[in-house]
Structure 1
Amino acid sequence: MSTSSSSHSSMEGIESPGARRALSLLFTIPDRFYDFCHLDQKTFFELADWIMEHVASKLSTNISIEESLFMFLDVVARGNSFTNVAYEWEHDVQLTQSIFLNVLNALTVLHESKEMDPEVPPFKQSLKARWKGARSLRPGRSRMDGLIKMGEDEMSQDGLEVNQEELKHALEALNNFIHEQADY
C-alpha cells in the first residue's frame, strides 16, 4: 500500500503546472521552441544533459533542469519579469529567482570548464539578437558595485540584482555551447 502512495506522489510532481508547461514546450514544433528559447531543441537537451552531469542543483524543491532552463530563458531570452515568469510557471517569485540563480550558477560552471571558441560571434552581437532580457549588460549600465537588475517589473519591483560579469560569462558560455552544437 505504501508503494502505491509513493508512486502516486511522484506522479503528482509530473503533473505540476510548471512541469506540464515544460513538457508542452519540449514537444512543440521547432519554430515555436526556437522562438521561446532562442536555441534549438537538440542543443537544449544537450545543455540540460551537460548541466545534470556536471552541476548539482542548489534548489530545495524538485524542479527539473528542463523547467529551470525554460524559466531562465524566459527572463534572459524573452525579457520577462520574475513576476510574469512566476505567474506563467505557477511558482512564487522567490522560487523563480532561486531557479534563475541556480541556472546562472550552472552556466558559470560551464564557462569555467570549457574553452571559448574564437569562432563564436561577438557577445555584443548576440546580446541584441538573442538575449533580450540581458540588454542591461551594456557598458555603463551596472552600478559601481558591478550589479545589475534582471527581470524587473516596474510595478512590483521584483528585479534580482546579479553580478554583471557573472551574467555575461554565463551568457558567453551559453553562446559558445550553442555554437559548438551547431557544428555537429
Structure 2
Amino acid sequence: MSFALRDFQRIVVGVDGSPGSIAALRFAADQVRGGRAEVLAVHAWQSAVHTPETLAAEHEEALGRLNSFVAAAELPADVELRTETVAGPAGPALTRSADRQGDLLVIGAPAPRRRLLPRRSVSRFCLARAACPVLAVPADSRVSRAPEAVIDQHSPSVPSPRAAA
C-alpha cells in the first residue's frame, strides 16, 4: 500500500538534536508549506531520578533543548509547528505520539556505524511498531521534494519497511 505525502494531515517528527533529526524536521516542514498539514516535533527524554521536583526541572530542560533544536533547523515562518516533550524512551514515545489516522512519522535515519555488537535503534523500533507509515531521512539529505510515495510498513506484500524514493 502506498501513500502520497499530501495524504497526511499531521507529520510527527522525532527530534533529538542529531543531524538526522534536524534533516527530518526540515524535510517535514518543506512538505507542509502552504497549510496542507501540521508538524509535531517530539523530543523524548528520560529521568534518572523520579521525584516531582527533578521531573519538573528535567521537563523544563527537555523543553529548552527541543526549542533550541527547532531553532537550529531554521524552519520557514509559514510552517504550522507544534512541539511536545515526552518522558520515556524515544521509540515508544514517538510511536505513541504518531497515533492518529492520517499521521506520518518522520525520523532521522541512523548514521552508519562500524560496530561488532548490534545496537538498539529508535528507527528500527519505530519501523517495527508504529501504527502509521514511517519515513527515515538521512542526515545528509538535501531532499526538498517529497518522494513519490511512502510504503506502509504493515503491508504484507512489502518484504522490508522502507520509504520509496
TM-score after normalising by structure 2: 0.28
Structure whose CA Rg is larger: 1
Larger fraction in strand: 2
Larger fraction in helix: 1
TM-score after normalising by structure 1: 0.26
